[in-house]
Amino acid sequence: MKKLILTVAIVCLNYFIFSQSCGTCRQSSLNYYKYQEYDKAKEFIDFCINCEKNKTDPRVWYYRGLIYQAIHVDKKYKALDPEAADKAFEGFKKALLYNFLDPTLQNLDIENKQEDLIKFYSALNDMKTKYTDQEITVDIIMNQFPLLANIFVNKGIDAYQNLKEYEKAYKYFSNSLFVSGLSGKIDTPVIYYAGLSAYKAKKYKEAKELFQTTIKLNYGATNEEKANVYYFLADVYKQTKDTQKYIETLKKGIEKYPNNNNLLVVELINYYLQSKQANEAKSYLEIAIKNDPNNATYYFALGTIYDNYDKDFAKAEEYYLKALNIKNDVFDYNYNLGALYYNKAADLYKAANEETDNIKYKKLKEQADENIKKSIPYLEKAHELDSKNLPTLESLKTAYYRAGMTEKYEQIKEKIKQLTQ
């Protein structure tokens, strides 16, 4: 019986303490906050929000926002909660909503529903709107949100650059945009980085909207940066299989920034090459060469089109040589030019063998021998750059044989044997 009485007494005592704490925790949390004892302020405010009577008290949520924001900022207390900034955001948001006296406004979903956000703005701008304490709303929007926006930007940068956690980065940048938007600020660079984070997190719907906004706001310190936004937006369309919008976006970027569009041009050229639209690829390669005349890649690409699509030997030779004059230590450049001469020789040898007129035969044979000799230096350079490439070795073997270079022919035969054993 004594044990039962003791148990009841303890329960009653706990209930009394709980009831008393619910009545005083709000003020206690604020007092500890003012004295910068954030660990104790956290204990009281965490307890406070679990009291039924405090769940819709805007002051409780406002203090919670202040306390958790201070925990995030203060190095001494930051380890208390790695998600302190998010909890500050939640506290301030609920404080803003519960501060409205109108119950319908308290239930607005201002983060996820555009129509609710519009109602929220309308209420803030309506002089007739009534609050529990209007100073809370003014302080959050004018003083706390600008600080919180910067906190989220820094967290977004850390998640993006250091942690490579792009979904988290997107969330932080989005939070920054939300709070800075409520305080009347449009932060264009943050919109761009939110778009990049969404893009890398494969959240293509969100990335598309953010890049479209970035373009409308004309973001970018240089025209090259502005053109790059078109590239990312185009790639979003590419990833979502919207080919028409993909091509339209690339062309718009090229048209808007004709002298700063190499990324866009290359992307469009690659598309045309992959879809075997050679004439379109050539026209944009000519634009690329005009903008960047010392880029060997463009000359090489143009050479491959004349070589493989147009079968124009002279033009292919011209552009391959231009690429090599700029950069002569690239395997593909050397191999393709060597192969161009080699294939030309093969066609001439075939024509000579079919020729019954001896004079014409000799002439075709001489032309074939000349092209074989031309192919050898480029194939040798290609072999030097990639000694295990079998097509190069096989072509060199035949070229050496045709040119009567017996010693080199035997050496290449041995190399091929060693590689294929």
Residue 36: φ, ψ to 5°: 60, 30
CB 372 within 8 A of CB 399: yes
The whole domain housing 416 covers: 328-421
The two three-digit tokens of residue 157, written as one number: 């940068």
Q: What is the pLDDT of residue 292?
A: 87
Q: Give me the amino acid identity at 153.
A: V
The total number of structural domains in the chain stands at 1
Q: What is the pLDDT of residue 19?
A: 45
Q: What is the pLDDT of residue 283?
A: 92
- In a domain, residue 315? The reply is no
CB 403 within 8 A of CB 347: no
- In a domain, residue 409? The reply is yes
3-state secondary structure the chain: CHHHHHHHHHHHHHHHHHHHHHHHHHHHHHHHHHCCCHHHHHHHHHHHCCCHHHCCCHHHHHHHHHHHHHHHHCCCCHHHCCCHHHHHHHHHHHHHHHCECCHHHHCCCCCCCHHHHHHHHHHHHCCCCCECCHHHHHHHHHHHHHHHHHHHHHHHHHHHHHCCCHHHHHHHHHHHHHHHHHCCCCCHHHHHHHHHHHHHCCCHHHHHHHHHHHHHCCCCCCHHHHHHHHHHHHHHHHHCCCHHHHHHHHHHHHHHCCCCCHHHHHHHHHHHHHCCCHHHHHHHHHHHHHHCCCCHHHHHHHHHHHHHCCCCHHHHHHHHHHHHHHCCCCHHHHHHHHHHHHHHHHHHHHHHHCCCCHHHHHHHHHHHHHHHHHHHHHHHHHHHHCCCCHHHHHHHHHHHHHHCCHHHHHHHHHHHHHHHC
Q: Give me the amino acid identity at 344.
A: K
Q: Give me the amino acid identity at 262.
A: N
- In a domain, residue 263? The reply is no
Please report, in tens digits, the pLDDT of each residue of the chain (421 residues total): 444 443 333 333 333 344 446 668 899 999 999 999 999 999 999 999 988 888 899 999 999 999 999 999 999 999 999 999 999 999 999 999 999 999 999 999 998 999 999 999 999 999 999 999 999 999 999 999 999 999 999 999 999 999 999 999 999 999 999 999 988 889 999 999 999 999 999 999 999 999 999 999 999 999 999 999 999 999 999 999 999 999 999 999 999 998 776 788 889 999 998 998 999 999 999 988 988 899 999 999 999 999 999 999 999 999 999 999 999 999 999 999 999 999 999 999 999 999 999 999 999 999 999 999 999 999 999 999 999 999 999 999 999 999 999 999 999 999 999 999 8
Q: What is the pLDDT of residue 66?
A: 98
- In a domain, residue 117? The reply is no
What's the first-to-final CA gap in the chain, in angstroms?
A: 95
Q: What is the pLDDT of residue 188?
A: 95
- In a domain, residue 65? The reply is no
Q: What is the pLDDT of residue 13?
A: 33
Residue given tokens 């969100």 in the structure block: 206
Residue 387: φ, ψ to 5°: -75, -10
- In a domain, residue 91? The reply is no
- In a domain, residue 381? The reply is yes
CATH number reported for the structural domain that contains residue 378 in this entry: 1.25.40
- In a domain, residue 401? The reply is yes
